Chains A and B, each alone.
Chain A
Amino acid sequence: MTSTVTETQFDTLAALESEAIHIFREVAGEFERPVILFSGGKDSTVLLHLALKAFWPAPLPFSLLHVDTGHNLDEVLAFRDHVVEKYGLRLHVASVEEYLADGRLTERPDGIRNPLQTVPLLDAITENRFDAVFGGGRRDEERSRAKERIFSLRDAFGRWDPKRQRPELWNLYNGRHAPGEHVRVFPLSNWTELDIWRYIARENVELATIYYAHERPVYQRDGMWMTPGSWGGPREDEELVVKSVRYRTVGDGSTTGAILSDAATNDDILAEVAASRLTERGATRGDDRVSEAAMEDRKREGYF
Chain B
Amino acid sequence: MSDLLRLATAGSVDDGKSTLVGRLLYDTKSVLADQIDAVTRASVDKGLATPDLSLLVDGLRAEREQGITIDVAYRYFATPKRSFVLADTPGHVQYTRNTVSGASTAQLVILLVDARKGVIEQTRRHAAVMALLGVPKLVLAVNKIDLVDDAEAVFAQIVAEFTELTGKLGWAAEDIVEIPVSALHGDNIASRSENTPFYDGPSLIEHLESVPVDADSTGRHQVGLRFPVQYVIRPRTAEYPDYRGYAGQVAAGVVSKGDEVVVLPSGIRTTVERIDTADGELPSAQPGRSVTLLLTDDVDISRGDTIVAAADAPEPIDAFDATCCWLGDKPLRPGARLLLKHGTRTTQAIVGALIERFDEQNLAADPNPESLALNDIGRISVRVAEPIAADDYRVNRYTGSFLLIDPAGGNTLAAGLVGDVLTSVEVGS
User: A1-20: which have CB < 8 Å to B?
Assistant: 1-8, 10-12, 14-15, 17-19
User: A171-186: which have CB < 8 Å to B?
Assistant: 171-172, 174, 176-178
A11 to B1, CA, bound (A): 10
Q: Which residues of B contact A6 (CB under 8 A)?
A: 283
Least CB distance from A111 to B in Å reads: 23
Q: B60 to A170, Cβ gap below 8 A?
A: no
Least CB distance from B293 to A in Å reads: 13
Q: A52 to B278, Cβ gap below 8 A?
A: yes
Q: B231 to A8, Cβ gap below 8 A?
A: no
Q: A178 to B410, Cβ gap below 8 A?
A: yes
Q: Which residues of A contact B100 (CB under 8 A)?
A: 167, 169
Q: A144 to B76, Cβ gap below 8 A?
A: no
Q: A293 to B61, Cβ gap below 8 A?
A: yes
State which of B193-201, B246-254, B379-387 sits at the interface with chain A: B246-254
Q: B3 to A7, Cβ gap below 8 A?
A: no
Residue B270 CB within 8 A of the other chain = no
Q: Which residues of A contact B344 (CB under 8 A)?
A: 26, 29
Q: B277 to A53, Cβ gap below 8 A?
A: yes
Q: B59 to A166, Cβ gap below 8 A?
A: no
Q: A144 to B282, Cβ gap below 8 A?
A: no
Q: A5 to B256, Cβ gap below 8 A?
A: yes
Residue of A with least CB distance to B329: A164
Q: A167 to B415, Cβ gap below 8 A?
A: yes
User: Can you list, as one digit per residue, whether each of A145-188 has a CB less than 8 Å from chain B (1) or not (0)?
Assistant: 11100000100000000110111111110101110000000000
Which of B61, B75, B256, B415 counts the most chain A CB atoms within 10 A?
Answer: B61
Q: Which residues of A contact B290 (CB under 8 A)?
A: 17-19, 21-22, 25, 54
Q: Which residues of A contact B74 (CB under 8 A)?
A: 139, 146-147, 189-190
- Please judge, given known A-B contacts A2-B254, A57-B240, A144-B60, whether A28 and B231 are in contact too, CB under 8 Å: yes
Q: Which residues of B contact A10 (CB under 8 A)?
A: 286, 288-289
Residue A101 CB within 8 A of the other chain = no
State which of A73-81, A92-100, A278-286 sits at the interface with chain B: A278-286
User: B16-63: which have CB < 8 Å to A?
Assistant: 32-35, 38, 42, 56-62
Residue A292 CB within 8 A of the other chain = yes
User: B387-401: which have CB < 8 Å to A?
Assistant: 397-398, 401
Q: B61 to A2, Cβ gap below 8 A?
A: no
Residue B298 CB within 8 A of the other chain = no
A169 to B282, CA, bound (A): 29
State which of B65-73, B147-155, B158-166, B168-176 sits at the interface with chain A: B65-73
Which of B57, B97, B254 counts the most chain A CB atoms within 10 A?
Answer: B254
Q: B3 to A12, Cβ gap below 8 A?
A: yes
Residue of B with least CB distance to A4: B254
Q: A2 to B309, Cβ gap below 8 A?
A: yes
Q: Which residues of A contact B56 (CB under 8 A)?
A: 143
B-side interface residues, number (CB < 8 Å): 85
User: Can you list, as one digit per residue, whether each of A43-72 has a CB less than 8 Å from chain B (1) or not (0)?
Assistant: 000000000111111110000000000000
Which of A18, A153, A190, A293 counts the most chain B CB atoms within 10 A?
Answer: A18
User: Can you list, as one digit per residue, whether each of B239-268 has a CB less than 8 Å from chain A (1) or not (0)?
Assistant: 110010001110001111001000000000
Interchain CB contact (< 8 A) of B247 among A25, A145, A146, A165: A25
Q: A25 to B105, Cβ gap below 8 A?
A: no
- Please judge, given known A-B contacts A2-B253, A169-B403, A174-B405, whether A162 and B60 are in contact too, CB under 8 Å: yes
- Please judge, given known A-B contacts A25-B247, A53-B278, whether A143 and B59 are in contact too, CB under 8 Å: yes
Residue B312 CB within 8 A of the other chain = yes
User: B324-353: which have CB < 8 Å to A?
Assistant: 327, 339, 341-344
A66 to B32, CA, bound (A): 31
Least CB distance from A198 to B in Å reads: 10
Q: B230 to A29, Cβ gap below 8 A?
A: yes
Could you jot down 16 A-B contacts, CB within 8 Å?
Answer: A2-B225, A10-B289, A28-B230, A29-B344, A57-B235, A58-B237, A140-B75, A153-B410, A165-B71, A167-B412, A168-B101, A171-B105, A192-B76, A277-B32, A292-B61, A292-B64
Binding site for A on B (CB under 8 A): 3-4, 32-35, 38, 42, 56-62, 64, 70-76, 78, 83, 85, 97-98, 100-101, 104-105, 224-225, 230-231, 233-237, 239-240, 243, 247-249, 253-256, 259, 277-279, 282-286, 288-290, 303, 309, 311-312, 327, 339, 341-344, 397-398, 401-403, 405-406, 409-412, 415
Binding site for B on A (CB under 8 A): 1-8, 10-12, 14-15, 17-19, 21-22, 25-26, 28-29, 52-59, 139-140, 142-147, 153, 162-163, 165-172, 174, 176-178, 189-190, 192, 194-195, 276-279, 282-283, 292-293, 296
